[in-house]
Each structure stands twice: as C-alpha cells, then as structure tokens.
Amino acid sequence: MTDDSAHFQSIPWVAQLLRDDSFVTTPFRSRIVKSSTEDSLYSTTINSPSTISATLTQYRRAPPSRKPLSPSAIPTDELRIFVTLGSDLNGYPGVLHGGMVATLLDEAMGYILSLNITTGEFGQVGPVTAYLNIKFVRPVITPGTVVVSGKIAEVKDNKKWKINGDIRDKDGTVLAEAECLYIQTRSKL
C-alpha cells in the first residue's frame, strides 16, 4: 500500500486539514490489491497518474462512550478521503465524469462502514448500496485535489445505515452532495 502523506502535505489546504487532531490519518485501504479482486476498481483500474494518483484517509475519533460495532472495528461516524484526480476520468474537458463523482461518493460512504464493521461477522459480504441519491452542485474540475466526506446519519438494527456525503474543493465549496442507504444482504452475492 502506498502512503501518499507526503503528496498531500505538499498541498497547503490539505496539509491544514491533516493537522486536525480530532482525525486519525491513514492510507486508503481500498488501494490495496487483493487476490479476491475486492476493491480492484480503486486498487488497479483507477490507480494511475492520469486517473487517481493519490489518496489519503482521515477518520474522526469517536467519543469514548461510542462502542464499536465489532471487536476489531474502528468506531467512527465521520471520515474524509483526499483524492488527487487526473484528466483521464473526465466527461467533459477539465470536468470529472458524473459517474466518477458517484463512484467517489459511494466509495467514501461505504468505506466508513468498512472501518466500523468487519466483514467476517456478516459472512463473506458486508453491507451493499441500496440507493445513492446525488445532487450535482458544481463541476469537479480536473486535474486537481478534492476531499470526499462521509458521515453516518442513522443506523437501524445494525442492518441499515444511512450515510451522507459530499465532495468539496480547496475552498470548501460543495461540488456534489449525496445520501446513501446501505443494507445487509440476506445471502452471499
């Protein structure tokens, strides 16, 4: 796994966010190549200098009263993923394709669940996306760096999770917003 910390420390607005002590900084685990092909979209397909050249995750420490959902989980309700985008994911010149906007949001919002839940307790498959509603506010300009955030809004019976997310630019301007519902499947995929 590549640690892209130095890259993001060189970007002033990101470096400032990385200094926030209420967050823990860690490499983005979806970039790890796995023999099962899980996460191959992020670890292989869109892992290049001209697509997504660098990623870094921060998750907010949960208050001590917040119990983890599983013994090996990291209890957190909020995360942000810094992403440096190239131009080979464009829909229009200099603008990230809308499908990639959705992909970034879905991955960030789902990633917060992977921190909170170990897949083993659900068998081979963890929660999956039931719906993803996106509001495209402004174009995501490429090449450039953005921050994709996710926050758990609601948990129902540890089987349904509503998560809100957004993509912001260096000025904190919201470029896209999303609401997602993840559900635990009844059987293996």
Measuring CA to CA, which residue among 175, 91, 186 is closest to residue 139? 175
- Tell me 114's DSSP state: H
Specify the pLDDT at position 111.
86
Q: Which helix (H) or strand (E) holds 179?
A: strand 174-183
Residue 188 lies in a domain: no
Structural domains of the chain, count: 1
Residue 17 lies in a domain: yes
Overall pTM surpassing 0.75 (yes/no): yes
CA distance 147 to 97: 16
Q: How confident is the model at residue 123 (pLDDT cuts 50, 70, 90)?
A: very low
CA distance 71 to 68: 7
Measuring CA to CA, which residue among 82, 77, 58 is closest to residue 167? 82
Residue 82 is part of a domain; what is its CATH number? 3.10.129.10
Structure confidence by residue, pLDDT tens digits, 59-112? 987 766 666 555 556 678 899 999 999 999 999 999 999 999 999 999 998 888
